[in-house]
Amino acid sequence: MSSTHYPSRRGLFAALLTLMLVLASMLSTVTPTLAGAASWTIEREGDAGPNVKTIQHLLRQRGSTIVADGDFGPATKSAVISFQSANGLVADGIVGPNTWSKLVVTVDVGSSGEAVRGLQVQLNKNGYTSIAVDGVYGTATGNAVTDFKTKHFLTGGTTVGPTTWEHLVGSASSGGTGGYSLPLAKSALPRSEYDDPHHDYPAIDLPVPTGTPVYATRGGTATRLSGSSCGNGYSVAGNDGATYTYCHLNSFVAANGTVNTGQLLGYSGNTGRSTGPHLHFAIKYGGVSRCPQNMLLAIYDGTAVPSPSSLPTSGCTY
């Protein structure tokens, strides 16, 4: 008859202690990562929005004469290639992590110039919309930087170095292409939501929780709306001749007046005639409602964006 040998209590204790020491050693070698930590984006010709505008300001800081209009066109690509060539980078005209790292400039209270303008564009994108994009790093900009860094567990006071730039640039924003931007961060909804039909006329309802950032699909002149049907919203007379409407917002951010492609307008909600939190998005061209689905899908995919005048006026309802 065979016998089974069990370890002694002292042996069990020793084994447990050894295991605990091994686990402690493993954990000590792991660098904690903040949930949702941001990373550098990739921007290229055809993209649009605040990140592109920041790139343009940083290139201007480095001596370029391009216009900081937020649209990544041929002139911006050429300026990026020149910068990359001068800094030992792959000269492909695409701004990825390596180019961002070389392009950003460390700034602090008292700094001024185009790099500060780029910083202020990023602060606006991240909700600090009262900060003027004037290129002067004063008290208001410093307070916004401090608040942002506190919320993202960053150190270093009011200094904006590469790590802070990375968090600002990489924070959630709308994806853009061809001078257009999604009305929501690309991460907010899967592609499948952008081809859904609307219930009774050309438009689309995008189901997102209250408090989701809403961005201008096209730059133009914004007017705040408030009524029993749309609730809190915006009408943006786009600089492409179309009118873009955003309804059921929980709160406003952008003031009446000029807005840029990809600029934060406000936060989604459930105001007005709404049965649940969502963003109602509609396009009119020539006074006629157009189906926005094809445009939104193209922006999402990064392909050629159809002109508003070519969008269908039917076929996108139940």
Query: Are residues 201 and 288 both part of a single domain?
Result: yes
Q: How far is CA 149 from CA 60, 278, 308, in A?
A: 26, 30, 40
Query: Are residues 185 and 306 both part of a single domain?
Result: yes
The predicted structure's pLDDT at residue 152 = 81
Give mean pLDDT, residues 25-38. Answer: 39
Give mean pLDDT, residues 73-84. Answer: 97
On the question of pLDDT at 144 being above 70, the answer is yes
Tell whether 80 is covered by a domain. Answer: yes
The predicted structure's pLDDT at residue 17 = 61
Give DSSP secondary structure letters for 203-229: -EEE---TT-EEE-SS-EEEEEEEETT
Give mean pLDDT, residues 293-302. Answer: 92
Query: Are residues 262 and 243 both part of a single domain?
Result: yes
The predicted structure's pLDDT at residue 176 = 66
The predicted structure's pLDDT at residue 221 = 94
The backbone torsions φ and ψ at residue 104, rounded to the nearest 5 degrees and listed phi first, read -65, 155
Extract the tokens encoding 58: 């940083």
Tell whether 253 is covered by a domain. Answer: yes
Query: Are residues 131 and 190 both part of a single domain?
Result: no
Task: Give the bridge partners for 112, in sequence order.
Answer: 136
Query: CB atoms < 10 A from the CB of 246, how many?
Result: 26
Tell whether 102 is covered by a domain. Answer: yes
Query: Are residues 162 and 210 both part of a single domain?
Result: no
Residue 224 maps to which CATH number? 2.70.70.10
> How big is the chain, counted in residues?
318
- Chosen domain end from 170, 198, 223: 170
Give mean pLDDT, residues 69-80. Answer: 93
Query: Are residues 143 and 242 both part of a single domain?
Result: no
Containing domain of residue 143, as a range? 50-170
Tell whether 20 is covered by a domain. Answer: no
Query: Are residues 104 and 123 both part of a single domain?
Result: yes
Query: Are residues 69 and 117 both part of a single domain?
Result: yes
Query: Are residues 88 and 147 both part of a single domain?
Result: yes
Tell whether 65 is covered by a domain. Answer: yes
Sign of CA dihedral 206, 72, 103, 156: negative
Give mean pLDDT, residues 38-59. Answer: 87
Query: Are residues 301 and 189 both part of a single domain?
Result: yes
Query: Are residues 61 and 151 both part of a single domain?
Result: yes
The total domain count for the chain is: 2
Of 164-173, 209-218, 245-254, the range with the lowest mean pLDDT is: 164-173
d(CA 56, CA 72): 9
Pairing of strands 231-238, 243-252: antiparallel
Tell whether 34 is covered by a domain. Answer: no
Query: Are residues 148 and 200 both part of a single domain?
Result: no
On the question of pLDDT at 6 being above 50, the answer is no
Share of the chain above pLDDT 70, in %: 86
The predicted structure's pLDDT at residue 266 = 92
pLDDT digits (tens, 9 = 90+) for 94-134: 999 999 999 999 999 999 999 999 999 999 887 787 899 99
pLDDT digits (tens, 9 = 90+) for 263-295: 889 999 999 999 999 999 999 999 999 999 999
The predicted structure's pLDDT at residue 18 = 60
Share of the chain above pLDDT 90, in %: 66
On the question of pLDDT at 32 being above 80, the answer is no
- Chosen domain end from 170, 198, 213: 170
Residue 118 maps to which CATH number? 1.10.101.10
Tell whether 190 is covered by a domain. Answer: yes
* Closest to 138 measured CA to CA, from 157, 112, 172: 112
Q: How confident is the model at residue 205 (pLDDT cuts 50, 70, 90)?
A: very high
The predicted structure's pLDDT at residue 12 = 59
- Chosen domain end from 112, 146, 170: 170
Higher pLDDT, 44 or 34: 44
Give DSSP secondary structure letters for 253-312: -SPSEEE-TT-EEEEEB--SS-SSSBEEEEEEETTEEE--HHHHHHHHHTSPPPPGGGS-
Tell whether 12 is covered by a domain. Answer: no
Give mean pLDDT, residues 170-198. Answer: 83
Looking up tokens 């730039």 gives: 165
